[in-house]
Each structure stands twice: as structure tokens, then as C-alpha cells.
Chain A
Amino acid sequence: MADTPLVNLTIEGRPVSVPAGTSILEAAKTVGVLIPHYCYHPGLPVAGVCRMCLVDVEKAPKLAPACATAVAEGQVVHVHDEKAREARKGVLEMLLINHPLDCPICDQAGECELQDYTYQEGRADSRYREPKRFNPVEDFGGDVMYVPNRCILCTRCVRFMEDVAHDAVLNVSERGDRALIGKFEGKDLTHAWAGNVVDLCPVGALLSKDFLNKARSWELDRTASVCTGCSQGCNIIVETRDNTVVRLRPRSNAAVNEFFMCDHGRLNYRWMNRGDRLESPSILGAAGQQVVDWDVALAGAARVLKGKRILVLASSNLSNEAMFVLSRIAKASGGAGASRMVTGVEAPLPGVEDLALRADRTANGRGAELLGFTRSDAPLSGLAQGDAVIVADHDITPDDAALLAKASAVVLVSTVMPAGLPRADVVLPICNYLEEEGTLTNLRGHVQRFLQARAAPGMARPSWFVLADLANALGERMDVLTAGQVFALLASSHPDFAGLSHEALGLRGRPVAGATAGATS
């Protein structure tokens, strides 16, 4: 961009300088002016069909569509003058004449651009006295259903499937006011990334079947987070209602996932609400697991681990912070850390460079490797007779269970009791990733923060907090009160992470030293 000449213009009285070729709509964003629009989306080719972004450009004979008009030197653009406002009012009125106005029963209500712009600048009444057009609801396959009566035919969904997913499923069928979004014969929205059409839809026409009638949007609490469905690390917004996760949605990040997330990640949230969580620390006694206080449990764990070579079996979905403390504990004992590979079928989104549902389905495999963990299909193969094992939120296969018989002690640091775990001398309950803060490192080495989205169950504590306490009980000196402090320790001891901090990462993340570039479209 450095060699693209800048163009100077005025938008709503504000001076703007943007690279030549920028649209008026994007230029306006740079000075905080939102030009109302429906069909335009920065991740899709320009269609220019909704005619909502018409702006008044001085000396131009007609109103110009801001999304499809490039900036020109000396242009004076009015977004909110009488002429432009009247035009948008006209568009809004026409968009609503055949709209059922069923906001009280529409999932989109509260996050609907038709509502928002009508509230801002639409007519208070309608002059339409004729019968409304009606078309029945249609199942589009996948997680998507279509309510044609609410559709404003912005064609964002059609363009996403055709130009980004490269799987032309949707089209505009019919003409005139009979037009509606149709599916090509024999096709369904089964593409791994098809669910994005629901986010792209500015109104309540395309809805998630999974989220249908689950919550009103204004009841939701939203938290910036990172998807743990695979090693891509798509940025997401976690939406909870009454401490329960009800929906995941993509959060834009040009370096990782542009504007999108796959259906695998989107719908893979039910485990976050599991009811069978470990809620209190316990120690294996004569009468089985005895619930004890945190101090007793930590002292008990230190007692069974002390003096032994410690093997850490840790899920690569744990945060960098937890992994870091675990690696310290293992190293100090002369032991090692290991993690099982979790793989699946890779599913790329062809329209965006380097964006895919990755074959590596763990969120922090790269971070685990950078912190010295080995990843394999038989993570316990290095277990020797008499070693102690820390199982950190890792599942247990029958093979693992057989090997664990060799262990002198098993300490479980986990969100749930893994099925098949033969015994746990001490159980330390931890928060799952939505209940704590931390960072994850994606497959390209992009380190990204996630924030706490819900409260932890029972006595469960953040993983890094529990592990730091355990490390201290084992004689380490880890003086930490926040996840950020753990990360600071990590950054100061691992050159890959040098110079990074929670503050520096912000909500877009930063790459580790020597990382390759991420997604760009």
C-alpha cells in the first residue's frame, strides 16, 4: 500500500486521505462515519444492489452508491444531507412493504440492521395498503433455514457461497418482487463454512437452526475469545445467557480468519456447558475420593509428586500459561510433557488465503510444542515404572489406562473426570477455557488472548492458578496473581515469546518470533 498515492476528499465535513481506489464507504469509516448499507460487506465482492449507501457527492448529477464509487481528489461527500436521507428513507420504506414486521418472534431482533436503520432514519408509518407477498420458510440444509418474507435480497449469502466458499449453492430465483433466494437443484448448505451466511445476513432471513428461539439477542453477554475447534484459532465472540453458552460467532481478524468461522467450530460449544464438572478438590482415601480443602489437596499432590520424575499428560487445548507452568514442573523433576494428537479432515475456505478448519484439531498444539511438549498418538510411551503422572485435562484411552498402572502416583488437574482413568490420588478441579483468561498459539504461531466468558462451577480455579500453586508446593518460586503475570514469566524465559505480553497482544494477537504470516484474503 505504501506506493499507492493518497487521495484527499471531504466526507461530512471531515478531511479524509485514503489510498486511491478506496470506496467512499470505506473512506468514511476511517473518519468514523458509518454510511448505512446492506449488501456491502468488506469480505465479499461489491454488488451495489441495496442502494442504501447512496450519498450526495457535490457536482455529481445523481446520488452515488458509496460502496461502488471510488474516492476522487477534492470530492465533497454528504452522507446525511436532505437528498441522501430522503433516498435512504425511500429504500427503507420499500424494504419494509413486503416485510412481515414480525420482530417480536424474529431471532434477529436486536441485532437486525433493518431495525437499526429504520429506527435511525426510517418512516414512522407505512403508506403500503396492498397485500404482502408470502413465501414459506425453507430448510437450506446444514444449520441454515431461510425465511423469505424477511429477506431484503442483498445477496450477501449468494456471493459468500459463490465467491468465498466456491460452492455455488444459492442463487436469486424469480424476478421483480417475486424474487427470493433459492437453492440450486440438488444442492444444500452443507459446505463446512456455510454457516457464515447466517452472520452475513443483515436481517432475519437466514437463521441458525441451532440457535433458533434460544434467546433474545439483548439477553446475551458477549466476550471476546478464540475458537478451540482446531489449530486455526479463529477469533470469536462467545455469547452466554445466564452463564450458559448459547452461540459462538466469528470476530473479525484480518491476520487469522478475516470475518469467518467454520461450522465445526461454531457448533462445537456444548461441552463448555457440561454439567458433570469436577467442582471440588479431593484426595484418594480409604473410602474413595474424599472432598478436601484446596490447601490440603495441594499439599497432598505435592506429597505424592515430590522426589519423583513427573510425566505430564496435558491436553493441547490448555492455554500457553497452563502449559508453561506444567512444563516447569516436569522439567524441574527431570520429567517431560506429552500430548495426544487430535486430527480430523481439513476443510479450507478457498476464498480466503490460509484459512481452513485444520486437520490438527487442538487449539494450542503449536504452543505446546514451543513449550517443549511432545505430541504423538502414544503420549504415555515414555512412562517408566515409578514415575508420577499429572493428567491435565487430557482424555484417557484403554492403552493409557494400562500404562498408568506403572505410575507411582496420578494427580488429576482437570475440568472433568476422564472416562477410563483408573485412579487419581489427588484431584484438582480447574476452570475450562471460557472460565479463565489466557492465551493460545495457533498453527502459524499467532498468539491470541481469550477472556473470561462465564463463572466457574463450584470450587474450580483457573488452570494457571492451580498449577502455579502446585509448582510452589513442589518448591518452585512462582509469584503470580494473574494470568498476565504467568505470561510475563513465560515471555521472559522463552525466546519465541520474547517481547509479548497480554497488553501487547490486545484482542488481535501477535505472532511469535519467526512465525509465518496468517490469513489474508
Chain B
Amino acid sequence: MGFPFKPHPRESTVLSKHFGEAEARTLDGWKVRGGYRALEQALGMDPVAIQNIVKESGLRGRGGAGFPTGLKWSFMKLGDGKPHYLCCNADESEPGTFKDREIMRWTPHALIEGCAIAAHAIGAETAYIYIRGEFTEPLEVMERAVAEARNAGVIGPNAMGSGKRVDVWVHKGAGAYICGEETALMNSLEGKRGNPRIKPPFPAAAGLFGMPTTINNVETLAAVPHILVNGGAWYKNMARADNPKSTGTKLWSVCGNVSRPGNYEVQMGFPFREFLYDLCGGPPRGRTFKAVIPGGSSVPIITIAEAEAAFMDYEGMVAVGTMLGSAGCIVMDDAQSIPRQVARLARFYAHESCAQCTQCREGTAWTTKILERIVAGDGTAEDLDTLLDLADNMTGKTICVLSDSCAAPVVSGLQKFPDEFKALITRKTVHTVPAIVA
């Protein structure tokens, strides 16, 4: 839990330890808290050795896909004579997710340090931090911190006196959701329209400016200094005993109908039930939980019964039919209408589709129109079949996964809560329970 709240005793604060401490934003304040020790150590190390420590730690991408970070870094061919680039994905545009914002607001130097270490580990001299356009305060904080670090020689042509060049630049996006997709981000960074690219080639072969590129999420990079200082084994031990595949701590952004929304940092494999009721304080008074979207709006909805049985790690979420995603946890209580929520999500995707692929451009908008018609009480039984068929056409058939992300909540909503849709169609009940804020 971050500023202005104290962390819950059951949290494991690694990344969020200094949230709320204004002094931690400054270079001196960060050094006092142990900052840049990891970078100094890393700059004296062989890149492959750094990759191996990160591999040992079991750190996986925190942006959503959960790809092993060390493995990703090892795809970069060191010494191939080409300029390499590191991109930090700070576009955090997934609805329900607001963890990276807090990292950048309170511990900007943690991210700069992580970027510099990662850049060195992949043979890059330049790292770009692509910040979401709406993040005005994090942008200011990051730019100030980068300037401070550069003036102090922490980064730049002779980073920390190591003789190695590590430049970090902050780039502000223009506020498109799709620019959080890695190849769209690169297009946007190059000054082009933020359209996802066809893969292959993958970024490690031809990414930013056509050069080998690694792209990592803010939270992933911010974890790297801690891993270097404390060792891979330390990080690896923060895991569920029976699931060593998900390691470390994870920041969860919790919003919706809970008593205490906010960012929580817990170890991988934390029981979801205890998380929802103990840490987040359960539902608002007088209500009961109904459904959870645990990983940002792109993952399937699960019922509260499924959520209560789940463990909070990559595999634990897959086991209950959803995904960890970006850990943007949207909680809905019994006052919420699932069709309405699904329609709202679909509307978001229809608005943000880049318009390249047919299924996404037309499918997201069509899906939205049908759902909004159902919510308005003009739905038919055939509409439900059409929605499922559309979702099938929108899944696994496009360049990126935006259309899959639109289909996921629709399909899961229809499967888990069919009665709510049918009730709207037959007009037997109209949802009139007002939403409340506890």
C-alpha cells in the first residue's frame, strides 16, 4: 500500500518500500537508501553474468506476458556490431493498472538504475523510457531524476566512472492504449503512427530503428537492482513452495468495490482470498463480492468463488481460467451489472483499436454496439451467439492481442454470468441497485 497509507503487515515491500518518501526521489536520498550500489556493481560485471543472475532469480516480465526476463536479455547478440537499444515500457495503459505510476512517482531512480543495468546487460548504450501521455506527474519526476543522474555522472558517456556509456532518455507518449504494445511503442518512439508490427522479426532481431532491442516493463526493471544486490536466490525464494515458476514480489493495483483500494506488494503465490478480505478489507459494507478481473481489463473475468480458490502468481491465475496479466485487479460486488461492465470494457477497446486488422477494427466496434444494445434492453437471444462467434473471430487472428483482449471479458462474462445477459434480453429484471462508495 503506498502513500498516504502504511503498508499492510503481510505485504513484502521491496519495490514499494520507499513509496511516499519525498526524499527518495532525489539522487542523494536514493543513494542513502542503498541506491546505485547495484549499478556500480553491474558496470564492473560481464553482461552475461548479469543475465545469469537475473535468470537465476526467475524474474518474469511484469507487463503482462510473464516472459522470463533473463532469457529475453540473452536473445540479444552481444558484439554483433549493431547499436542495441533498451526500451522501458512505462505506457501503463491497461485499465485497472496503476503500479508503474507509483514506482515512477516515488522511486524514479530505481527505474533509472534498472534501465542502466539492463542496458549494460544487453550491450546497449541507450535506454528509452516511454511514458504514457497522461502521466504528467510521473513524467516530471522522471525527467527531474534523469537530469539529476546525468549531471552527477551516474548515467551518461562515463557512467559512474566506469568508462561505459549508458544514456537514459524519457519520451512522452501521446496517450494511445496501443502504444503499450511493444512494437507499437517502438513505432511511436520512431515518430510513426503507433501501429503494432508483424512478428517476426522480433524486437531482439529488429526492433527500435530496425536494431536489436529489448523491451521491459517498469516494474521488471525496477526489480533488477534489488536482485543484483541481494542475489538471485533471495528473489527466487519469494515464491509458493509448490510453484517455483513465479518468483519475487508483485505489485497489485486494486480498484473497484473493495474497502481499501490501492497498490499492494505481496510475494508470488499469496492466497487471493486472504488478499481480498484481509489486505483489501473485503467488500464495502453491506455488499458481497461477485466477480474479479485480476490482471487488467484484458484478462478473463472470474467469479468470486474462483478467485477465492486462487493463488496470486502466473500459474495460479491460469489454473482458474484467467491470467496474472499486469495485476490490475478490478473487483466487482453484487451491485454491479456484468453486461454493463463488459460493454464498458468493449467500448474502451473499440476506441483504442489501431484500425490495422479487420477483425479488431470492425469486431471491437460491432461487439460494443451489440453489448450496448443488450444493456439498453434491445438485445435478442441471437445476439449472444453472435457475440461468441465474433469473439472467436477476434481471437488469435490479428497482429497484436488487442482484439483478443476485447474478446476475453466478453466470452468470460457470457460464460460465467449468462443469467444476467438473459435477464436483460427477456426483460425479466432490470438492474437498479445503485453503486456505492464505502
B354-372 CB contact bits vs A (8 Å, 1 = yes)?
1111110111111001100
Interface residues of A in 493-519 (CB under 8 A from B): none
- Asked if A386 is at the interface (CB within 8 A of a chain B CB), the reply is no
Known A-B contacts A51-B359, A63-B397, A97-B362; the reply to A176 vs B350 at CB < 8 A is yes
B369 touches A94 (CB 8 A): no
- Asked if B198 is at the interface (CB within 8 A of a chain A CB), the reply is yes
B355 touches A179 (CB 8 A): yes
A177 touches B397 (CB 8 A): no
Interface residues of A in 46-102 (CB under 8 A from B): 46-52, 54, 61-63, 65, 68, 87, 90-91, 94-95, 97-98
Q: How far is the CB of B410 from chain A (nearest CB, A)?
A: 15
Inter-chain contacts of B359 with A (CB < 8 A): 51, 90-91, 94
A175 touches B351 (CB 8 A): yes
A98 touches B397 (CB 8 A): no
B193 touches A171 (CB 8 A): yes
Known A-B contacts A94-B393, A130-B366; the reply to A176 vs B358 at CB < 8 A is no
Q: How far is the CB of A339 from chain B (nearest CB, A)?
A: 50
Interface residues of B in 191-221 (CB under 8 A from A): 193, 198
Inter-chain contacts of A49 with B (CB < 8 A): 356-358, 399
Inter-chain contacts of B161 with A (CB < 8 A): none
B365 touches A177 (CB 8 A): yes
Select from chain B the residue with minimum beta-carbon distance to A65: B198
Q: How far is the CB of B180 from chain A (nearest CB, A)?
A: 14
A48 touches B198 (CB 8 A): yes
A94-137 CB contact bits vs B (8 Å, 1 = yes)?
11011000000000000000000000000000011110000000
- Asked if A310 is at the interface (CB within 8 A of a chain B CB), the reply is no
Inter-chain contacts of B398 with A (CB < 8 A): 51
- Asked if A174 is at the interface (CB within 8 A of a chain B CB), the reply is yes
- Asked if B353 is at the interface (CB within 8 A of a chain A CB), the reply is yes
- Asked if B242 is at the interface (CB within 8 A of a chain A CB), the reply is no
Inter-chain contacts of B357 with A (CB < 8 A): 49-51
B370 touches A87 (CB 8 A): no
Inter-chain contacts of B193 with A (CB < 8 A): 171-172
- Asked if B396 is at the interface (CB within 8 A of a chain A CB), the reply is yes
A90 to B388, CA, bound (A): 12
A51, A128, A172 — most chain B CB neighbours (10 Å): A51
Inter-chain contacts of A175 with B (CB < 8 A): 176, 351-355
Known A-B contacts A94-B359, A127-B382; the reply to A87 vs B397 at CB < 8 A is yes
- Give the 8 A-B residue pairs with the shortest CB-CB distance, closest first: A179-B355, A90-B393, A177-B365, A94-B362, A176-B353, A130-B369, A49-B356, A48-B198
Q: How far is the CB of A41 from chain B (nearest CB, A)?
A: 16
Inter-chain contacts of B382 with A (CB < 8 A): 127
B362 touches A95 (CB 8 A): yes
Q: How far is the CB of B197 from chain A (nearest CB, A)?
A: 9
A127 to B390, CA, bound (A): 10
- Asked if B243 is at the interface (CB within 8 A of a chain A CB), the reply is no
B350 touches A177 (CB 8 A): yes
A95 to B365, CA, bound (A): 12
Inter-chain contacts of A97 with B (CB < 8 A): 362, 366
A-B contact pairs, 10 of them (CB 8 A): A47-B356, A49-B356, A49-B399, A65-B198, A98-B362, A129-B373, A175-B352, A177-B362, A177-B365, A179-B361
Inter-chain contacts of B355 with A (CB < 8 A): 153, 172, 174-179
B198 touches A46 (CB 8 A): yes
A97 to B365, CA, bound (A): 11
- Asked if B415 is at the interface (CB within 8 A of a chain A CB), the reply is no
Inter-chain contacts of B350 with A (CB < 8 A): 176-177
A63 touches B396 (CB 8 A): yes
A177 touches B361 (CB 8 A): yes
A177 to B397, CA, bound (A): 17
Q: How far is the CB of A96 from chain B (nearest CB, A)?
A: 9
Q: How far is the CB of A101 from chain B (nearest CB, A)?
A: 15
A174 to B396, CA, bound (A): 24
B361, B373, B396 — most chain A CB neighbours (10 Å): B361
- Asked if B386 is at the interface (CB within 8 A of a chain A CB), the reply is yes
A65, A90, A153 — most chain B CB neighbours (10 Å): A90
Known A-B contacts A51-B359, A51-B397, A90-B359; the reply to A176 vs B366 at CB < 8 A is no
A179 to B360, CA, bound (A): 12
Q: How far is the CB of B420 from chain A (nearest CB, A)?
A: 21
A176 touches B198 (CB 8 A): no
B393 touches A48 (CB 8 A): no
Select from chain B the residue with minimum beta-carbon distance to A180: B355
Q: How far is the CB of A372 from chain B (nearest CB, A)?
A: 53
Q: How far is the CB of A55 from chain B (nearest CB, A)?
A: 12
A157-175 CB contact bits vs B (8 Å, 1 = yes)?
0000000000000011011
A179-223 CB contact bits vs B (8 Å, 1 = yes)?
100000000000000000000000000000000000000000000
Add 11 more A-B contacts to A49-B357, A94-B362, A127-B382 (CB < 8 A). Answer: A47-B356, A50-B357, A51-B397, A63-B396, A90-B389, A90-B397, A172-B193, A175-B351, A176-B364, A176-B365, A179-B361
Select from chain B the residue with minimum beta-carbon distance to A67: B198
Inter-chain contacts of B369 with A (CB < 8 A): 130
Inter-chain contacts of A176 with B (CB < 8 A): 350-353, 355, 361, 364-365
A176 to B365, CA, bound (A): 7
B353 touches A94 (CB 8 A): no
- Asked if A152 is at the interface (CB within 8 A of a chain B CB), the reply is yes
A113 to B74, CA, bound (A): 45
> Of A68, A98, A127, which is within 8 A of B198 by CB?
A68
A94 touches B397 (CB 8 A): no
Q: How far is the CB of A221 from chain B (nearest CB, A)?
A: 35
A90, A98, A176 — most chain B CB neighbours (10 Å): A176
Inter-chain contacts of B397 with A (CB < 8 A): 51, 54, 62-63, 87, 90
A49 to B359, CA, bound (A): 10
A171 to B356, CA, bound (A): 12
A151 to B232, CA, bound (A): 54
B198, B354, B355, B399 — most chain A CB neighbours (10 Å): B355
A49 to B193, CA, bound (A): 15
Q: How far is the CB of B80 from chain A (nearest CB, A)?
A: 21
A154 to B373, CA, bound (A): 29
A87 to B393, CA, bound (A): 6
A155 to B392, CA, bound (A): 25
A179 to B176, CA, bound (A): 14
A91 to B357, CA, bound (A): 9
A50 to B360, CA, bound (A): 10
B358 touches A128 (CB 8 A): no
Q: How far is the CB of B353 from chain A (nearest CB, A)?
A: 4
A177 to B352, CA, bound (A): 10
Known A-B contacts A48-B198, A90-B393, A127-B382; the reply to A95 vs B358 at CB < 8 A is yes
